[in-house]
Amino acid sequence: MDYENSDREDRTILPTALKILIAGGFGVGKTTLVAAVSETQPLRTEEVLSERGVGVDDLTGVEAKSTTTVAMDFGRITFGEDLVLYLFGTPGQDRFWFLWDELALGALGAVVLADTRRLADCFPSIDYFESQGLPFIVAVNCFDGARQYSLEEVQMALNLDPDVPVMLCDARKRESSKDVLITLLQHVMKGRGLTRKPETVGS
């Protein structure tokens, strides 16, 4: 493919890139929520990890080591020319903490999607974000036929700090998923200025 014009003037308008993590247990609707608000179908990116879990693989001794490919789905929302928001679904396997660290680095905050039929599935996400000092909210995805619990019951069952917003959502619906992101952003804004733990990377 040939381009005649070799000027690169357009690189002066580099947008501000931001990201939000969408976490929660397997099958809770992370990719569904990403798809509901993103401007395109969610994209998939992968990282190849060694079973030692020491981050990026080293070629040394590669024959003896098994590797695992971890997939992450993400979406993009562009706001005008100067703002891009990326939504990253966290890998379902909670043992890949290295990847969580990589995703969480520089994130604005996180949405923990919960299914009241399998509430314990979101414990690892909540523990992780609490330990990292990353602001998060809990959004209870309302599955058809699932027994409805009150938000207070969910808050108590998850042993959440009372400041952490808990809300209902329908991850399939664009409006509902937008509300989730807005609630998170408002929560993050409210917490700004408060001292945050320094970023700690590593398992």
Partner 1 sequence: MTRPDAEPLWVDDEAGPVVRPYAMTRGRARPRNGFNVISLVTAARATPPLDVGLVPEHARIIELCQRPLALAEVAAHLHLPLGTVRVLLDDLVARQLVYVSEPRPPATLPDDSVFEALIHGLREL
CB of 28 to partner 1, least distance (A): 21
Give the per-residue contact string, 3-42, with partner 1 (x = CB under 8 A; - = no). xxxxxx-xx--xxxxxx-----------------x-----
Nearest to 112 by CA among 101, 100, 123, 104: 123
Tokens 């890998």 correspond to what residue?
91
145 binds partner 1 (CB under 8 A): no
127 binds partner 1 (CB under 8 A): no
- Please identify, using beta-carbon distances, which residue of 95 and 178 lies nearer to partner 1: 178
What amino acid occupies position 119? Answer: L
147 binds partner 1 (CB under 8 A): no
CB of 86 to partner 1, least distance (A): 5
Q: How far out from the chain centre does Cα 182 lie?
A: 14
67 binds partner 1 (CB under 8 A): yes
What is the distance between the alpha carbons of residues 90 and 73, in angstroms, rounded to a whole number? 8
Interface stretch with partner 1, choices 24-32, 97-105, 118-126, 150-158 (CB under 8 A): 97-105
Q: Are strands 67-79 and 43-50 parallel, antiparallel or unpaired?
A: antiparallel
Q: What DSSP string runs through 168-188? A: EE-TT-HHHHHHHHHHHHHHH
Residue 133 exposed, middle or buried by CB count within 10 Å (0-12, 13-18, 19+): middle
Q: Which residues contribute to the site for partner 1 (CB under 8 A)? A: 1-8, 10-11, 14-19, 37, 43-48, 56-59, 62-64, 66-67, 69, 71-72, 74, 76-77, 79-80, 83-86, 88, 102-103, 105-108, 174, 178, 181-182, 185-186, 188-189, 192, 196, 199
